[in-house]
Structure 1
């Protein structure tokens, strides 16, 4: 009899836990539906800014109760639901850093052998932000692809992230500029900067999400995506072309594409001493002309 009562009590506890998880899941699903069901009026740019959290709704004031409830939901059981409002705000913040890092990495590789102080501080701030994002990934619940139920247990969450992109994310956060200077300024170390381009997937995920959003015209999203891709490819090509010009010794720089360039009486023979923006715009022009004519 005692064993039967123990089994019944255990079953009762298990059912209560399942009911609590179902209630939490239903609450988040209802909240998600409410956020998604909005009027489709307005321009596509308004919808895009709303999705990025740049609209008027982003500047609304939160009451004391909503802030307390949000923090409580955020750290409930040290597991974060993907639809938590604070985590969604963090995703938009880290998306901007990912966009910046995606464009700055080719620039750093091509034009800088050792960052100046202002860019170095900005780079460290960015890496700290991505390190914090790695910590959040170990606490982020996910939906199982087979059962379609949310997984809140920390062990499966951690194993899932460790098996996916943890190593690449962690290597991208290392201060490669410091390692380059400490390691004797070996050129091979600088090649590891390209690991940070793995952050581009955050930008691609954003565009994939926008393409599935029925409130935004699909063609509009594709056009914006195409423009961003074209700008990024041209920017990367410009940085790569300039890097190729710097691989030769100083005595042979006059034979490179930029060292042999002359615009009237102006010569680029000592191009390393020219202003950064002039070098970058020249490289950008060369990349556009090369890709458009070859």
Structure 2
């Protein structure tokens, strides 16, 4: 593997003349807090309302925020959209959801441990069971209500949905019925139907469906708490196994007790044997039941004393469940070992090469830190994976993928609207991505411009040649357009990365090569470029622009100065 593919280019010549570096010191006014504008005032009531609203809106510290919303611009826009349009909704990447999902994961796990025990010993602790059931129903009902007020990330459209009507319909269509079955009004049923206590306890077993919530919440939280994927999968398998074995052990006692409640229990039932009757405490009886359940789950039921129909049917069911569970654990374990091996091998190899490279070059600590940040960003974005997929698919799929990734950016350039569609598709195929770290110079004033730059994600600052900041350009903006059609263009501005940025670059050479089959097209584009230049923002106009969001395009080419 070529390590230099992960490292940005830099010069290590010892005697090169030092050039003053423009540091990004933002001169624009500090952005106002959207919450301050939405809820004004310094009273206690206003502060409390702002605090509650802040917990519901998008959290900048949420790990998934930077994964799905890739720049400061999109984060600010999402917060503004939430506050102005859906202030009563809960954002899926909010601080409140982290706390709520963490508490619900722990509470549901404990509840699923307590429920079968309380049901099993229903005949002895019925009054306490009613209290326990009511508390669980209240908490689970609150969770259902939260789902109606919590937005979700739509993986198909890649947008965060906060519209309450759409959120409610999506939840009702998918999981509302399952969650509602876990909060059936047992007390009302018992009050309406006489002598239905036993049936109510049986209905309460529907709470086992809450295991879905544990899995859903844990899958979200493992990214929030930056938990290792392998460790998370091990905990998930252990949680499911413990709950299944625990419920199976409780059923070993509950099923014959239910038959006894119907007055059809045979004297041959195993709970009437002297061995079981000698176990006086609940703990000892539970251990005996747990032993029988595990024996059935591992398909060794022929060692058990089974003479009644209910014992035979239950152990047959547990044997089938145990076989399916074994296949599930085997599949998950095989997948885990595969990912563990690949991940460890890949990361260890690259990190080792990177450390050896930095140690051999005797790089300063600050530069080492920037290299590590660069590698983490590149690895998170999956540049190698994307390139490998695009290179291996069929030509038709490759064209569709490239157009999907870059056509929106290319279509935003007014100059390209005069190009044939085939040329636009060809230009999209030669775009390449470059990563710039915070403080990196993308273009320097006075240097020749060789490419058109699209900002895929991130923020850049534009400075005059004297070092005065003009404006910010953010996601979807572009600069360097004139360099493609004009000869020997030099920049009259310096462009610096404010944060880690991903830029898509179109080189002049590739542009000229793809329009060469059209002899008169270049002259036509030069005329159009000059016409558009009259309407585009100059540096002076961009500096005097007083809008909360920066311009999408400004001219940084020296052609404007020469034309005047």
1:83 matched to 2:113? The reply is: no
Q: Which of 143, 158, 176 in structure 2 is aligned with 1:133?
A: 143
* Contact 2:59/2:65, CA 8 A, preserved across alignment: no
Deviation at 1:92, TM superposition (A): 1.3
> 1:40-79, aligned counterparts within 5 Å?
77-79=87-89
Shift in CA distance, 33/193, structure 1 to aligned 2, threshold 3 Å: closer
Q: Is the 8 A contact 1:234 1:284 kept in 2?
A: yes
- Give the match for residue 16 of structure 2: none
Match of 2:283? Answer: 277
2:102 touches 2:221 (CA, 8 Å); kept in 1? no
Question: 1:9: which partner in 2?
Answer: none
Post-superposition offset of 1:242: 0.8
User: Following the alignment from structure 2 to structure 1, what is the Cα–Cα distance between the partners of residues 285 and 63?
Assistant: 50
Structure of greater Rg: 2
Aligned to 1:229: 240
What is the DSSP-based 3-state SS (H/G/I as helix, E as strand, rest coil) of the residue aligned with 1:121? helix
How far did residue 211 of structure 1 move?
6.4
Deviations 1:121-177 (A, max 9, x none): 232122111111222111111122332111221111111112122223223212425
Whole-angstrom CA distance in 2 between matches of 1:192 and 1:206: 25
Structure 2 counterpart of 1:260, from 273, 279, 294: 273
CA shift in 2, pair 1:100/1:170, >3 Å: same
The whole-number CA distance in structure 1 between the counterparts of 2:132 and 2:173 is: 30
Secondary structure class of the residue paired with 1:78 = coil
Q: Report Cα offsets for 1:155-213 as digits up to 9, x if no partner.
A: 11111112122223223212425634652344544442232222111211244346668
Cα 1:257–1:285 shift into 2, 3 Å:
same
Distance 1:174 1:244, change over 3 A: closer
Number of the residue aligned with 1:96:
106
Aligned counterpart, 1:56: none
Indicate if the aligned counterparts of 2:148 and 2:164 stay in contact, CA closer than 8 A: yes
2: distance between equivalents of 1:163 and 1:35? 27
1:208 and 2:214 correspond: no
1:148 to 158, 169, 183: 158
Normalised TM-score (structure 2): 0.36
Are the counterparts in 2 of residues 134 and 166 from structure 1 also a CA contact under 8 Å? yes
Give the deviation of 1:89 after TM superposition: 0.7
SS of 2:87's partner is: helix
What CA distance in whole angstroms lies between the structure 2 residues aligned with 1:136 and 1:160?
14
Measure, in 1, the Cα distance between the counterparts of 2:240 and 2:250. 15
Instruction: Give the secondary structure class of the aligned counterpart of 1:28.
Output: coil
Aligned residues: 228
Q: Which residue of 2 aligns with 1:243?
A: 254
Cα pair distance change 1:185/1:99, threshold 3 Å: farther
Instruction: Assess, with a 3 A threshold, how the Cα gap between structure 1 residues 36 and 261 changes in structure 2: closer, same or farther.
Output: farther
- Post-superposition shift, 1:221? 2.8
CA distance in 2, matches of 1:213, 1:93: 14
- Give TM-score scaled by structure 1 length: 0.64
Cα gap change, 1:229/1:112 in structure 2, threshold over 3 Å: closer, same or farther? Answer: same
Distance 1:113 1:101 in 2: 19
Provide closer, same or farther for how the CA distance between residues 78 and 214 of structure 1 changes in structure 2, counting only shifts above 3 A. Answer: closer
The structure whose residues are more often helix, as a share, is 1
Aligned equivalents of 1:140, 1:283: Cα separation in 2? 41
- Structure 2 residue 58 is the aligned partner of structure 1 residue 28: yes
Aligned equivalents of 2:265, 2:163: Cα separation in 1: 61
Cα distance, 1:79 vs structure 2:
0.6
Distance 1:101 1:85 in 2: 24
Which SS does the other structure have where 1:31 is aligned?
A: coil
Q: Give the corresponding residue for 2:294.
A: 288
In structure 2, what is the Cα distance between the partners aligned to 1:220 and 1:179? 43
Contact 2:118 2:129 (C-alpha < 8 Å) held by counterparts: no
CA RMSD between the two structures: 3.6
Greater strand proportion? 2
* Unpaired runs of at least 5, structure 2: 1-53, 68-81, 302-564
Equivalence map 1:110-129=2 (5 Å): 110-113=120-123, 115-129=125-139
| Shift, 1:86, TM fit | 1.9
Relative to 1, partners in 2 of residues 1:223 and 1:154: Cα closer, same or farther, differing over 3 Å? closer
Of 153-162 and 281-290, the range deviating more from structure 2:
281-290
Whether 2:263 is the aligned partner of 1:220: answer no
In structure 1, stretches of 5+ residues that fail to align are: 1-23, 38-71
Q: After superposition, what is the alpha-carbon deviation per residue over 1:13-71, rounded to whole angstroms, capped at 9, x for unaligned?
A: xxxxxxxxxxx9xx93743249889xxxxxxxxxxxxxxxxxxxxxxxxxxxxxxxxxx
1:179 aligns with 2:192: no
